[in-house]
Each structure stands twice: as C-alpha cells, then as structure tokens.
Amino acid sequence: MTAHGEDVRDGDGRAESDSPSEPASSPETIEVPAARERARAIPEAAVARLAVYLRVLSGLRDQDVTTVSSDELATAAGVNSAKLRKDLSYIGSYGTRGVGYEVAVLIGQIERTLGLTRKHSVAVVGIGNLGHALANYGGFPSRGFPVAALFDLDPDLVDVPVGGIPVSHIDDIVEVCREREITIGVIATPAQGAQEVCDRLVAGGVTCILNFAPVVLQVPEDVEVRKVDLAVEMQILSFHVARRQQEAGVAGESEVDGADIGPPGTGVRVPDEFDSVNGMVERL
C-alpha cells in the first residue's frame, strides 16, 4: 500500500482515516507523488521519532522478530499508537490486518526516508574528553556513520591514532574533508574556536554539522546545524524535577513557575513541542 491514492493503513490493517483522533496525514503529504517531496513534508518532530522507531525495529530484527503491531511498536518507542500511525503515514504504511508491520520492510522505508541508504563519513573536531569519546563510540559506524577523520590543535595529539584513525591538525580540515568526502562534521571544541572550525568544515564541503560547543554558529542557508547543549538539557531536566515536586506538594527552597526554567524574570521557557529529554547516549 502506498500514499499515492491507494488505501493507507496502519500496521494492523486499519485505515488511517478510521482513527478519530489523528488524520491519515496532511493533504500535501498525500498529494505529492515523489518520495523526495514526501520526505520534505515530514515535520521535524516526526523525523526525530522515525529515528526512534528505526532503533526499536533494528532491535527487533536482531531478535529475529519479523512482524510487529502498531501498539507494540508504539509502546516500545514511548509514543501513543495514533501518533505512530500518523508518523508512518508520512512515508507510507505497510501493514496487514491481524499481522502488523513487516519489520524488514519498515526498516528499509525509514532508512530511505532518513537518507541512511547513502554513504556518510563523519569528522570529529576537538579530541578532548568529549571528542575522544565520540571518536571511539561504536554506535556511529554500526548505524551507518563511520568516523573517517579527526582534528585537533594540540601538536601532541596530531598523528596519534584515536579509534584507529590518526588525528590531523585543524589547518588540514578543508583538504582532508574533501579527500575523504566527509558529509557530517562534529564540533567538540571550546566555544571560542567553534566558528572558525565550522567555517573550515563548510569550506571542505561539509553540509551537516553536529555542534557540541556552547555557541550559535553562523552558516550558509544550505548547511544544516544541530546543536547539543548538555547544560541546557540539564536545566530542562531540572525544570521537570521541580515541576513534579511541585505537583506532588513537595515544598522546595523557592517557588518554580510551571512554565519557566531559568532564573526568575529571565522568561526562559520550555518549547510547547518538547515532550521529553533523551539521554546523551540515546541521542548518539
């Protein structure tokens, strides 16, 4: 079944339109014929959940599970069934009534949507404690993101292998990134050097950057940047702890505004779409 005018059903064979709480998909998602256009119509929050579904499905495949129902997949991914069915409607649903989704088929569809069928190579810049850990993280290559280049300023680190890859000097970022066809750059440097590193990565042809430095990077419009600020994540977690204590009637040292996460008067708020905070390991 596809989203091209045919009957779109969920993993249990139910038509998406049968769900009173969730529409099958947005009109533009159904009307566009090309998979590329359909992917562009997927909301960013749904893209993040697709990555979670893929992780769950990959685990099921490793356990030799061949089919999974929408309820089972939703529970394992931590979402409700209606949200899962709508997310999968963006890419087309492949389910059979009474059987569910074929795990292998759904994995392939999500991988194509997320661009995981293409070749990716990762460069990590800044081989301190965080960069060293990222360079050695086995989850990258196992999920299709092999680390192909490492960079640092420290002359004592240059040419020293980390995770089997010799560290190069940051002066060589442009040349090495072009030679090794780096598609994703990871910045794990202090804030003061992050923009220069970013500029070098972009000059080397890198169009996707994962930024761990506590700074907002300035990039061209065709460069995608994802920022991971661990301090902000901790502050958001603190907000949720304080809110739960308040709801339970536990008195803290100070009152916490149910919507504010920063010091009084800062106006720092949790985005409406923020449902939960994934752990750092789960993000990677």
Q: pTM to 2 decimals?
A: 0.59
pLDDT for 95 equals 63
126 in a known ligand binding site: yes
Choose the CATH number for 16-113 among 1.10.10.10, 3.30.565.10, 3.20.20.80, 1.20.1440.230.
Answer: 1.10.10.10
User: 122-227 has which fold?
Assistant: Rossmann fold (3.40.50)
128 in a known ligand binding site: yes
- Pick the range with the lowest mean pLDDT from 32-36, 162-166, 199-203, 275-279: 275-279
30 in a known ligand binding site: no
**Pairing between strand 184-187 and 208-211?**
parallel
129 in a known ligand binding site: yes
- Pick the range with the lowest mean pLDDT from 56-60, 90-94, 150-154: 90-94
131 in a known ligand binding site: yes
In the chain, what are the domain boundaries? Answer: 16-113, 122-227, 230-283
Calculate the average pLDDT of the chain.
76
pLDDT digits (tens, 9 = 90+) for 215-231: 999 999 999 999 988 88
Span 264-281, mean pLDDT? 40
User: Between residues 161 and 141, which one has the greater pLDDT?
Assistant: 161
